[in-house]
């Protein structure tokens, strides 16, 4: 079952902040975040593991609430280059081979 | 740098044709995956493989099959293409464990 992402789309000005949320109905082993620009392949941003270990990306941070099976991606002081579609991917506990993606959040940063 | 390549960027086929989509990765990854991407639905997992000759169904395997004869190569097969299989197909690979997924550039398949 796909994780649920919100919002579906967000438009902001350069320098503003944004938060993208991801929630799952399953107990999770990890949460991944990817960004896809138009016509390109998704690119890794962040991985959050059960137990708190985080591997990150410069100027972008994320949190993982294991009890609620929720993750949030925080983009601060957004830049034009942040525009794209953001996907969260979840790996359920006991099935770490699969990565199931949400439907995506389209982020547009305007000058 | 990890590289995942797909045999075609664009492909046009007729209904009923057998279609092969090829994916090759050059980093000795154990896991390989096929996703399809449709507007509003995100990336949906079709099949994945964690070893040569091993395969597992993902969320939407109907109408597809796969083959993995060599570690670096993972093929997606549409035995009899249908118009509802018109989509963007993305291949990915990763190491075992909490690893990064690396994606190929995608193949946009149109079935007429």
Instruction: At B87, give phi and psi (nearest 5°).
Output: -175, 175
Local structure of A107: helix, strand or coil:
strand
Give A 61-100 residues with CB within 8 A of chain B: 87, 89, 91, 96-100
Which one of A41, A71, A95 would you mutate to disrupt binding with B, by most B Cβ within 10 Å of its Cβ? A41
Nearest to B92 by CA among A42, A75, A63: A42
Q: Which residue has the tokens 């708190």?
A: A52
Domain that holds residue B8: 4-98
B36 in a domain, yes or no? Answer: yes
Per-residue pLDDT, B98: 74
Per-residue pLDDT, B52: 92
Per-residue pLDDT, B38: 94
Interacting residues of A34 by C-beta distance below 8 A, sequence separation 6+: A42, A43, A44, A45, A86, A87, A88, A89, A101, B101
Say which CATH number the domain at A101 has: 2.60.40.10
Q: What is the mean pLDDT of residues A76-94?
A: 92
Q: What is the mean pLDDT of residues A59-84?
A: 91
Say which CATH number the domain at B52 has: 2.60.40.10
pLDDT at position A33 over 90: yes
Per-residue pLDDT, A55: 58
B106 in a domain, yes or no? Answer: no
Per-residue pLDDT, A56: 62
Q: How confident is the model over B7-61, as pLDDT tens digits?
A: 999 999 999 999 999 999 998 999 999 999 998 899 999 999 999 989 999 999 9
Nearest to B60 by CA among A105, A30, A1: A1
Residue B107 to residue B24: CA distance in whole angstroms: 13
The number of beta carbons lying within 10 Å of the beta carbon of residue B110 is 13
Q: What is the mean pLDDT of residues B106-110?
A: 96
Local structure of A80: helix, strand or coil:
helix
Domain that holds residue A37: 4-110
- Residue-by-residue DSSP string for A35-96: EE-TTS--EEEEEEETTS-EE-BTTEEEEEETTTTEEEEEE-S--GGG-EEEEEEEEETT-T
Domain count, chain A: 1
Residue of B nearest to A31 (CA): B98
CA pseudo-torsion sign A89, A92, A93, A96? negative
Q: How confident is the model over A34-53, as pLDDT tens digits?
A: 999 998 999 999 899 876 65
Residues of B with Cβ-Cβ distance to A102 under 8 angstroms:
42
Contact A36, A99 (CB under 8 A): no
Among B35, B44, B50, select the one facing A97 at the smallest CB separation: B50
Q: What is the mean pLDDT of residues B98-103?
A: 87
B8 in a domain, yes or no? Answer: yes
Residue A33 to residue A26: CA distance in whole angstroms: 17
pLDDT grade, residue A98 (50/70/90)? confident
The structure tokens listed for B48 are 């994945």
Contact B36, B103 (CB under 8 A): no
pLDDT at position A58 over 70: no
Per-residue pLDDT, B14: 97
Domain count, chain B: 1
């Amino acid at each position: 079952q796909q994780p649920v992402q919100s919002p579906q789309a967000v438009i902001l000005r350069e320098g503003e902040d944004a938060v993208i949320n991801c929630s799952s109905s399953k107990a999770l082993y990890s949460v991944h975040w990817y960004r896809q620009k138009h016509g390109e392949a998704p690119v890794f941003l962040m991985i959050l593991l059960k137990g708190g270990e985080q591997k990150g990306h410069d100027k972008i941070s994320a949190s993982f609430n294991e009890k609620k099976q929720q993750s949030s991606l925080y983009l601060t002081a957004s830049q034009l280059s942040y525009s794209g579609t953001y996907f969260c991917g979840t790996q359920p506990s006991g099935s770490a081979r699969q990565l199931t993606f949400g439907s995506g959040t389209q982020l547009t940063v305007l000058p | 740098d990890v590289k995942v390549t797909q045999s075609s960027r664009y492909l046009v086929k007729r209904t009923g044709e057998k279609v092969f989509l090829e994916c090759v990765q050059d980093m000795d990854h154990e896991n390989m995956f096929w996703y399809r991407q449709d507007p509003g639905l995100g990336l949906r997992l079709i099949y994945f493989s964690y070893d040569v000759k091993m395969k597992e169904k993902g969320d939407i395997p109907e109408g597809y099959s796969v083959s993995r004869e060599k570690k670096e190569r993972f093929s997606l097969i549409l035995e009899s293409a249908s118009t509802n299989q018109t989509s963007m197909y993305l291949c990915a690979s990763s190491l075992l464990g909490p690893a990064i997924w690396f994606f190929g550039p995608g193949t946009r398949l149109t079935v007429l």
